[in-house]
Amino acid sequence: MDGLASVVNGSSIKDAAVIYGVARSINGVISLIQSAEIGAIVGSVHPGELLDPINDLIERFSSVMAWSLSSLVLQKILLSIFSSYSFKVIFTIFCVFALFANKIIKSLKVLQKVWITFLIVASLRFSIAIVCVLTAALDYSFLQKIEQASLETVQSFNSEISAGINEVASIEDDIDQELEGLKVAKVRLSDLIDVSQGELEVLKENLGEEPKPSLWGKIRGKEKSPQRLALEQQFDEKKLDIKQFKTELKALETQIECAELRSSGESCEGGWSKLKMMFSPEKISQISQKINQTINDLITLLVSLVLTTILLPLTFLYVFLRLLKMSVSVFAAQNRNFQNVPQNKLVAVENSEK
């Protein structure tokens, strides 16, 4: 249970961090676009005004997303505490003591306190792990597909509005020399991508040969081998490197096109020209529809994040608390009923038992 809870908690933290990062990235890009003023047929167009609804939405939910991440990190800390070796020893001692408490302790009040303390320690030992597993089960069963679809739409929107910002080219005096340097850089970057993809394939083959823990192994708390963890880390880093290289290659290709236009005498304003084309008057309607869809998907992501990181864990913890109170009430009621039995009946019961 501890191992499975740790796995699903780590996955939840990673997914929440991705959602938070995409939202803040959109917020940063919109802040840059808000400083741009694009000339239209009549007057001018401010792209930032068109993106204000998304920007306001992200600003309002920033604190909520921070609370969600804090909740997941708190769950991780509590899992580490309650699944530690020291706490396991304490819980085992309480189990053994509670097992023989009826034979050792004669006072009903003391015996009741012992069992109530045992219930509290047992709740602390298992409640957080069970909450993490149940929350992850509900998320996987009902919300994960919706979250993935919404996240893809939001990431696509982020890439589109970032295109004009990430491709701003600096103006250089010698266009031909600039163009030659860009082409050389493109060839080197293409070779680097090919080499990295070859290394990625080798890492993938090595991962396939390394044994992977089964689901039962995760439930029993069996960790991955150090070799597999190292290979997975290298594999993820290499994938990120290739993605970064491809982004740089795309930016280089755009700069090369711009430099070729300038060398032929045509006008080119770098990345801002693409931004102006993106927010031209004839595309405003199309972009508005895209923004409406993105707002819906962003709200879906934020609500699912709040649900799976705050509301569901608190609900399950509340259920555990109610169950604990009911158990304590049962012990207290049994104690009162036993004390209210007449003494002569107790004697008769003892004689019959003997």
Mind giving me the DSSP string for 80-113?
HHHTSHHHHHHHHHHHHHHHTHHHH---HHHHHH
pLDDT tens-place string over residues 115-129: 888 888 898 899 999
Pairwise pLDDT comparison (87 vs 351), residue with the higher score = 87
Distance CA 61, CA 20 (A): 10
pLDDT tens-place string over residues 262-296: 666 555 554 445 455 555 555 556 666 777 778 88
Closest CA to 301 of 119, 148, 91, 109: 148
Other C-beta atoms closer than 10 Å to the C-beta of 151 total 19
CB-based burial label for 326 (10 Å; 0-12, 13-18, 19+): exposed
Q: Residue 278 corresponds to which tokens in the numbers above?
A: 């993106």
- The conformation of residue 282, written as its DSSP 8-state character, comes to G
Mean pLDDT, the chain, whole residue set: 76
Pairwise pLDDT comparison (11 vs 181), residue with the higher score = 11
pLDDT tens-place string over residues 16-61: 888 888 888 888 777 766 665 544 433 444 555 667 777 788 887 7
pLDDT tens-place string over residues 182-221: 777 888 878 888 888 888 787 777 777 655 555 555 555 4
Closest CA to 213 of 221, 204, 205: 221
CB-based burial label for 138 (10 Å; 0-12, 13-18, 19+): middle
CB-based burial label for 269 (10 Å; 0-12, 13-18, 19+): middle
Give how far Cα 37 sits from Cα of 45, 46, 49, Å: 6, 5, 10
Q: Residue 241 corresponds to which tokens in the numbers above?
A: 């490197």
Output the CA angle 142-146-148, nearest 5 degrees. Answer: 120
Residue 304 pLDDT > 60: yes
- Residue type at position 243: K
Helix (H) or strand (E) holding 200: helix 175-209
Distance CA 162, CA 185 (A): 22
Other C-beta atoms closer than 10 Å to the C-beta of 99 total 10
Distance CA 163, CA 284 (A): 17
To which residue do tokens 């109170």 refer?
325
User: Residues 314, 319, 325, 331: is their CA dihedral positive or negative?
Assistant: negative
* Confidence (pLDDT) at 221: 47
* Average confidence (pLDDT) over 135-160: 85
Q: Residue 3 corresponds to which tokens in the numbers above?
A: 């191992």
User: Alpha carbon 112 to chain centroid distance?
Assistant: 43
* Confidence (pLDDT) at 117: 87
CA end-to-end span of the chain, whole Å?
A: 44
Distance CA 331, CA 115 (A): 8
Distance CA 16, CA 306 (A): 10
Pairwise pLDDT comparison (73 vs 50), residue with the higher score = 73
pTM of the entire predicted model: 0.58
Distance CA 214, CA 220 (A): 10
Give how far Cα 88 sits from Cα of 84, 122, 166, 241, Å: 6, 10, 52, 42
